[in-house]
């Protein structure tokens, strides 16, 4: 996958989780391999601050998925996949690893469903009103 396609995919993944963040997520892209990456090709690291959590979550984006990584004092990242679960999406990673994220997601989904039901209810009422006028 070329660099532009990788950026589009990561941006879309970040866009999916923005609703649950205290501030705008920070994305660091890596065009070249760095020594701290060990044998894993990290395409980017996304730093997110989930509402209600003190600790920043740093997720490394690999060609094969997302995993939590630790930020070291020198600004590099500790990539140890032996101790990490790999998730297909940033959303899936946050559901599994960021306490409170799933509740925020479910609350948002509930609001969207309620709004959809209300919209559909209005549409049905409009059809009924038009039918009674004919």
DSSP per residue, 64-89: TEEEEEEEPTTS-EE--GGG---BSS
Q: How many CA atoms lie within 13 A of 133 on its CB side?
A: 6
| In the chain, domain spans | 3-98
Q: Are 48 and 25 in contact (CB under 8 A)?
A: yes
- Reading the chain (134 residues) residue by residue, the pLDDT tens digits are 678 888 999 999 999 999 999 999 999 998 777 776 766 788 999 999 999 988 889 999 988 899 998 888 887 788 777 777 899 999 999 999 998 999 999 999 999 999 999 888 775 555 455 444 44
Per DSSP, helices labelled H in 2-133 are: 3-17, 90-97, 101-133
């Amino acid at each position: 996958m070329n660099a532009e396609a990788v950026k589009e995919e990561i941006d879309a993944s970040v866009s999916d989780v923005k609703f649950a963040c205290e501030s705008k997520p920070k994305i660091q892209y890596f065009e070249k391999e760095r020594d701290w990456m060990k044998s894993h090709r990290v395409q980017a690291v996304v730093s997110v601050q989930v509402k209600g959590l003190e600790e920043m979550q740093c997720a490394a984006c690999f060609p094969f998925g997302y995993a939590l990584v630790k930020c070291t004092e020198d600004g590099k990242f500790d990539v140890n996949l032996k101790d990490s679960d790999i998730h297909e999406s940033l959303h899936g990673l946050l559901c599994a690893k960021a306490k409170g994220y799933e509740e925020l997601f479910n609350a948002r989904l509930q609001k969207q469903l309620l709004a959809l039901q209300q919209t559909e209810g209005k549409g049905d009422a409009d059809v009924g009103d038009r039918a009674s006028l004919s």
